[in-house]
A and B are shown apart, each in its own frame.
Chain A
Amino acid sequence: MNIIFIAVNLAFALLIAPVIDGFERKIRARLQNRQGPSILQTWWDLIKLLKRPTVEPQGSIKSLYKLAPYITFTAVLTAYLVVPTLLPSSMNFIGDFIVVVYLLGLATLSFVIGAFSSGNPYAQIGSNREVSLFMSEELLLALIVSTIAVIGKSLSFEQLFPLPLRISSALALILLFVVVYVASARLPFDIAEAEPEIIEGPLIEYSGKHLGLLEYSIFLKRLLLYSLLLNFIIPIQNPIRLVCYLIGIVILSVIYSTFEAYYGRFRIDQAVKLMKKLSAVALVVWIIAVVGW
């Protein structure tokens, strides 16, 4: 049965991730007093991209360049086997929390390597930025993971969903809320893809199917991070968990896209500075958790 439930979860993620993006686009448009596209627009874009042929740039390392989108996509999908989304069932083993963090890291890494191998100066600058942002974000994430592990006294999701209500857990979840925002590459943190500056940075040379897969991975990654955050809050055995989960997704989308509509873009050094400050805060939260509050 469990296998079937996991399959349902996967299907849900694959179907709904682009729809959520469409929903956020709609909200942003309304805030900027525009009509905005239909909620399904992101799906139409993806379908169109997946139908198109791909082009490899001349100066690229072709094997790496072609492989990268598939690795990114697979890494994100694998993480869905471990993190429950719609239905409260997933593969559980000791240390699966760490595995999810690593899978997300792998997705970013292969994305960056693919961009680097394209040989385009814009892509290289974009990858540089992506890596520096990822590094600064990783430290913060590590501190949050250790805080959560200290609170739940475990590293597997079974004991961690949901977190017990304490001062430290609330603070840790607020920090996680910020990390989710940064990791989903939104304004003011879409520095790597900054369209007016470096023309979508790492994505610049990608086209057709590869581009579609990479975009798809980004949407899936966002939904995965949402689910992770919600699972820490919503009791896993609750009968109305499903309803709560869906409402939670909508609320997060609204909050995040509102933020996004009212921010300008950071420069990379500003973003890294902010991450450093937050890491210091996270360290304090970890200490609070160790003390046992």
Chain B
Amino acid sequence: MLLEILKGNDAKILRHDEKVILALVPNDKLRTTAELLFKAGCYYATGVGVDERLLGVGFSMYHIFNCESEKRYVILKAVASNLRIPSITPVISGANWAEREAMDMVGIFFDEHPEPLRLILPDDWPEGIHPLRKEFHYNERPPKVEFKPPKREKKPGVMEVPVGPYHPTLHEPEVFELHVKGEEIVGAVYRGFHVHRGMEKLAEERMTINQIPFLAERICGICGYTHNCAYAQAVEDAAKIEVPERALYIRTILLELERLHSHLLWFGVAFHLLGFDSGFMHTWRIREAFMDLAELLTGNRKTYGMNLIGGVRRDIDEEKKKKVLEILEKTKKETKEVLDNAAGMKELISRMEGIGVLPKNEGREIGVVGPVARASGIDTDVRRDHPYAAYSDLDFKVPVYKEGDVLARFLVRYEETFESFWLIEQALDQLPPGDILNEDYELPEYVVGIGATEAPRGEDVHFVITEGGNKVYRWRPRAPTYNNLPAVPIMLMGEKLADAPIIIASIDPCFSCTDHMVIVDGEKVCRCSLDDYLRGL
């Protein structure tokens, strides 16, 4: 099916196996191909702009689609001719951010993009300097450019309420600008990306492939191990490395442990935002048990540091296994007690019911992932659709609700929490004997690899192009929140201001995960133009 679509559009298949189809699509056919893929049930995962001039190709853009029906990722590669590639945002709105990011960081111009504004770079960044081009070094500091934000008009009767950059609701800096009439939200503008750390550049220039897992783990303070796993899987996929089965099981256990602590953290935050502080304190008390478990298994409470390419660093012995099962049994009871108490509280439920609704088709178009998608009736789960680690041997249910409101997202996470307990127990019981690390591999040159995991917040995709000699040529992590955030303004429209915090929190946003930076001020910011790009060459 997918192959027919690609071949029908003159695509050149570069790689075809059970995980990935990589196809080079001619620029004039790119938009129709993307549209056909979307109609065939694939959603837009992310896009990666790459500077391939060293490979004699020029600049290229990889559009990555997640096709659950065929259990594959389809990657469309387009090569820029004279720095121009047709934009696919007019047909798939989910590609908006990815394309704008490529405009900023690599300097490819997308024809007919509906809003070619800066997304990543701050407004005082000089024109024509693109950080992810190979001639730009990670320690360069270009001079600031004077920038005056344009004046904005005020609409009568509408009050602008800035939620952020510093606001008690948000744990990280970003801005939701809410336009409020009385108590009702009539418009919402999101501006984010204040916490850019330039990790992609660091990884390309300074690090070896086995150092990047430790950097990847520091992308996020909550779901770091997931990024770590996704990166390791991407390199293993590119180099075709066999990972020992025991290592896969250990990864599974840790991934689920991380999901448990992340979900409990979210419950606590949600309770706090609804003013139910007792629930917040109790969930965080229980969460402490998982932190202790992580410490027991890995030596660290949060940043596990367990993965290397080809396996894991520490083993789980019998004694630890017994202890983990013991603690799990105890915390399972406590978790159930607290969460059931909360779910039985009428006023808490009534604060979540029917607000922040995300319709299924809009969610699909944006490409939302994880609990947000599952609460809107989109049956997607990377663990089931693209099995990785040991998930193919284990049995678990994927909860799906069709209401699409905050309560549905709450219930999805509630069910997932108990599925995670069940998964850890299974994985510990079935732990196979054997090695935990395979170090016998060769790194090929310039091969594309893709690794995806189901983070607590949704699908987490890492894209890697290897570069022999123990380095990567391009590494692009795409955190789940990157796909979920564009849906928040849709959820906020027409709701009460009092519900804004819980709606924003209901996607479980992780802003440092999204890992970029933009400072947008005013309606019109720096517009990207092709002339400036050509001047920069």
Chain A interfacial residues counted at CB < 8 A: 31
Interface size of B in residues (CB-CB distance below 8 Å) = 33
Name the residue on A nearest B349 (C-beta). A264
| Given A121-B161, A196-B168; A267-B273 close (CB under 8 Å) | no
Let me know if B272 is at the binding interface, CB within 8 A. Answer: yes
What 0/1 pattern do residues 180 to 196 of A give for CB contact below 8 A with B?
Answer: 00000001101100111
Cα distance A188–B168 when bound, in Å? Answer: 19
Smallest CB-CB separation from A274: which chain B residue? B347
* A-facing residues in B470-509 (Cβ within 8 Å): 496-501
A268 vs B497: C-alpha distance when bound (angstroms): 10
* Docked complex Cα distance between A199 and B275 (Å): 13
CB <8 Å contact, A121 and B345:
no
Contact between B159 and A196 (Cβ–Cβ < 8 Å)? Answer: no
| Bound-state Cα–Cα, A31 to B277, Å | 10
- Digit string of A205-234 for contact with B (CB within 8 Å is 1, else 0)? 000000000000000000000000000000
Which of A121, A196, A199, A270 touches B272 (beta carbons < 8 Å)?
A196
In the complex, A210 Cα to B59 Cα: how many Å? 61
Task: Report the minimum CB–CB distance from B232 to chain A (whole Å).
Answer: 37
Residue among A187, A188, A264, A270 with most chain B CB within 10 A: A264
CB of A32 within 8 A of chain B? yes
Q: In the bound complex, do residue B169 and residue A263 qualify as a contact, i.e. CB atoms below 8 Å apart?
A: no
Q: Are A265 and B272 in contact (CB under 8 A)?
A: no
- Of B272, B276, B285, B501, chain A has the most CB atoms within 10 Å of the CB of B276
Q: Is the CB of A128 within 8 A of B183?
A: yes
A267 lies within 8 A of B159 (CB): no
As a 0/1 sequence over residues 262 to 293 of chain A, the CB contacts with chain B under 8 angstroms (1 = contact) are: 11111111100000000000000000000000
Q: Does A122 contact B (CB under 8 A)?
A: yes
Q: Which residues of B have CB within 8 Å of A262?
A: 278
Contact across chains for A263 and B275 when beta carbons are under 8 A apart:
yes
Is there an interface contact between B277 and A188, defined as CB atoms closer than 8 Å?
no
A33 and B288 alpha carbons, distance in the complex (Å)? 14
Chain B neighbourhood of A263, CB < 8 A:
275-276, 347
Chain A residues with CB under 8 Å of B162's CB are 121
A125 an interface residue at 8 Å Cβ cutoff? yes
- Please, how many angstroms separate the alpha-carbon atoms of A226 and B274 in the complex? 27
Q: Answer whether A264 and B276 are a contact pair too, CB < 8 Å, given A33-B285, A121-B160, A196-B169.
A: yes
Given A122-B161, A197-B497, A197-B498, A34:B281 Cβ within 8 A: yes
CB within 8 Å of B: which A94-128 residues: 121-122, 124-125, 128
Known: A34-B281, A128-B183. A264 touches B351 (CB 8 A): yes
- Return chain A residues, CB-CB under 8 Å to B275: 187-188, 190, 194, 196, 263-265
Per the bound structure, the CA–CA distance linking A33 and B282 in Å amounts to 8
CB of B180 within 8 Å of the partner chain: yes
What residues of A have a CB within 8 angstroms of the CB of B183 in the complex?
A: 125, 128-129, 268-269
Are the CB atoms of A264 and B282 closer together than 8 Å? no
Q: In the complex, how many angstroms separate the beta carbon of A208 from the nearest chain B beta carbon? A: 20
Pick from B277, B285, B498: contact of A194, CB under 8 Å:
B498
Give A105 to B438 CA distance when docked, in angstroms: 75
A198 vs B500: C-alpha distance when bound (angstroms): 10
- Residues of B near A173 (CB, < 8 A) are none
B347 partner, pick from A32, A34, A188, A268, beta carbons under 8 A? A188
Q: How close is B502's CB to chain A, nearest CB, in angstroms? A: 9
Tell me the B159-175 residues at the A interface (CB within 8 Å): 159-162, 167-169
Residues 183-212 of B at the A interface (beta carbon under 8 Å): 183
Least CB distance from A126 to B in Å reads: 10
Minimal beta-carbon separation of A188 from chain B (angstroms): 6
B391 at the interface (CB under 8 A from A): no
- Nearest-CB residue, chain A, relative to B500: A197
Answer whether residue A261 sits at the interface, using C-beta atoms and an 8 A cutoff: yes
14 A-B pairs in the complex with CB atoms less than 8 angstroms apart:
A28-B277, A31-B278, A121-B162, A121-B180, A128-B182, A129-B183, A188-B275, A197-B498, A199-B167, A199-B168, A261-B277, A262-B278, A263-B275, A266-B347
> What would 4 more interface pairs be, CB under 8 Å, given A197-B498, A265-B274?
A125-B180, A198-B497, A266-B351, A270-B350
Q: List the 5 shortest-distance A-B pairs measured between CB atoms, nearest first.
A: A265-B275, A264-B276, A32-B281, A264-B274, A264-B348
